[in-house]
Amino acid sequence: MMTEPERSIDIDPEPTTRITVETRFGVFEADLRDMVTFPDGLPGFETCRRFVVLSSLEMAPIQCLHAVDGAPASFLAIDPRLVLPSYRSVLSQADKLRLGIADEAALLWLALVTVAEDNSGTVNLRAPIVINPARMTGFQVMPHNSLYPLRYPLGGSDRETEKG
Give the whole-angstrom CA distance, residue 69 versus residue 10. Answer: 32
Cβ neighbours for 100, distance < 8 A, ≥ 6 positions apart: 132, 134, 135, 137
Segment 102-114 mean pLDDT: 89
CATH of domain 18-153: 2.30.290.10
Give the whole-angstrom CA distance, residue 114 versus residue 162. Answer: 15
Tens of pLDDT, residue by residue over 141-162, are: 988 778 899 999 997 654 444 4
DSSP-based three-state secondary structure for 138: strand
- pLDDT value, residue 16: 65
Give the whole-angstrom CA distance, residue 21 versus residue 67. Answer: 10
- pLDDT value, residue 103: 74
Give the whole-angstrom CA distance, residue 113 versus residue 128. Answer: 10
Domain extents in the chain? 18-153
Among 48-52, 98-102, 134-138, 142-146, name the one with the lowest average pLDDT.
142-146
pTM above 0.95, yes or no: no
Pick from 22, 47, 51, 21: nearest CA to 34: 51
